[in-house]
Amino acid sequence: MRIKSVDDNFKKNSQIVGPYDSAVAASCINGVFVGKNDDGVVAFKGIPFAEPPVGELRWKSPVSVSRKDEVFEAFYNGASPLQSRSESERASLFHQSEDCLYLNIWTAGKYAGEKRPVMVFIHGGAYGWGGTADPLYDGHNFVKNHPDIVLVTITYRLGILGFMDFSGVPGGEDYKTGGNLGLLDQVEALRYIKKNISSFGGDAENVTIFGESAGGGSVSLLPLIPEAKGLFKRVIAESGSLSLTYSPGECMYLTDKLMKKTGAHSMEDLCALSEEQLKKVIDRFDDTNYPERDGVVLPQDLYGAYKSGEASHVDMIIGTNKDEMRYWIKDIGGLSIYKICAYYMFENDSKKLGAGNKKRTKRFFKKHKEKNPLKTFLKKPWVITDLYNEIIFRLPAIRQSEHQSDNGGKVYMYFWKYPSKHPHLGACHAVELAYVFGNLSETIYSGENINAELSEKVQNMWANFARTGNPSIEGAEWEPYSSENRFTMLLDDPISVGKDIRRYERKLLMPLTDNYYNGNHKEHSANIPFVYRNLFALTAFVAGGIGLLHLIRTEIKKRSSK
């Protein structure tokens, strides 16, 4: 079934000639922008923070905006970055364009002359999907609840336009930052915010960046980029860490695929492609890279960079959710498909494990009283799911926190336990977003009957951290994390504090984090985003394996006999 876009509803901000309401206006380097007041919160949408990355600027580092004196509307979202369309990524259903570098700002009325803490949100989507048009990220309710905060959401280039290694392509020597352009877009947005946020009542010296999934990974990486130093002082990383990155070798898979699919032989050929041609390519192979440990923009050893104290200048909240991987049950098409695909993913990873790590995973399964992980997974898939919760999400976050704390950086750890109301999802990936933004009607991940009291408490924690660097609230004192105490805030109903939770799993599986497990398996044709959206292709691939065919038939017989 073809997923429909909402391009017909797209409106572009226009220049204003003549009188305008100065009470909802802000003067920036690139013009005066006029927003809209809704119940005491002024929203400015679609403000360009960089020159459009098109034409000669395609696949180049972002360029700062030119100075302008005109007055412009800031009524409508800018276009979403180019990406394939997915029902689970609602910004992908919005109008898309290469011209996508825009930000949105929400500030309470009478902001002139104020110096309010600033929170900048970076969206997730596996670095290949998402955008600020997603209603889940609307900042109105958060600012309504916390009028002393200025909230900003930003876009960045995604997929083949934001994360591509061109080192092996003729002419690629002029595109050395290609593997991390999306991150450099984020730096440029923060640079723009630093220069202009005072016009919106924000304090340029008190900026907190926060993000979820790829956004959580981004805010974990930005402290390691020299150009980002001084642009923010605090970080909140939700379900994203250093593991969500690629080596140069992993990145080359997508480069080779792009060259084959387009018939290009050089950078000149790639740059000659029209936007429409690029859209068709993106739709056809529906793939993405993660940020590249390239030694150019990012260090090759990310944990080593944290261990040496390169991020100790920022305060951090870092956390993960109890059932991260269950998010993909809904996205992939249901529990039965999830069982087969996730086990297949485990089989792929098992081939890459050394002897020592294979023993560790066997001990992990033994603790769960299961000798045969396949048999367990087809009955009750949570054992392998839990393994991936640890090695992709929780343990990388803990390792990052350990290094941060050991170098004198202040870090607070959380573990989200409150479950989604959707069947089987538990406390899945992204379940906390509606709570954090206070958008309780956005139930795509949380389900109905959201816990309003928990949402209020979590918002207060995030806001307190942005204000003061301490997320404690009345009734929930949040102690900093360290290798000695391992204090962890358990976000549930009720909220409580744990100490070295899941200690056995941490001590057993932490060595696996050296492998940067990232949930993407392109070399096995089982890359997660590819699996999500290409089930027919996956089925054809799986059909080549007699063993897996037998498992599928067995499962079907069991289900039909019930």
Q: Is pLDDT at 541 greater than 60 in this prediction?
A: no
- Phi first, then psi, for residue 545 (nearest 5°) are -105, 115
Q: What is the C-alpha separation between 428 and 79, in angstroms, rounded?
A: 29
Q: Band of the pLDDT at 549, cuts 50, 70, 90?
A: very low
Residues β-bridged to residue 150? 118
- Look at residue 258 and tell me whether its pLDDT is greater than 90: yes
**Of 425, 535, 434, 388, which Cα lies nearest the Cα of 86?**
535
The answer, yes or no, to whether residue 529 has pLDDT greater than 60, is no
- pLDDT of res. 519: 73
- The confidence score (pLDDT) of residue 344 equals 79
pLDDT tens figures, 78-122: 999 999 998 889 999 999 999 999 999 999 999 999 999 999 999
Among the listed residues 320, 316, 318, 317, the one whose alpha carbon sits nearest the alpha carbon of residue 417: 320
Question: What is the distance between the alpha carbons of residues 124 and 436, in angstroms, rounded to a whole number?
Answer: 14
Reported residue count of the chain is 562
- Rounded-to-integer distance, Cα 35 and Cα 43, Å: 5
430-483, pLDDT tens digit by residue?
999 999 999 999 999 999 989 999 999 999 999 999 999 999 999 999 999 999
**Tens of pLDDT, residues 353-386:** 888 999 999 899 888 776 565 565 566 678 889 9
Nearest-10 crossing angle of helices 275-285, 248-262: 120
What is the chain's mean pLDDT, rounded? 90
With CA atoms as reference, report the closest residue to 538 among 343, 398, 304, 275.
343
Confidence of residue 518 (pLDDT cuts 50, 70, 90): confident
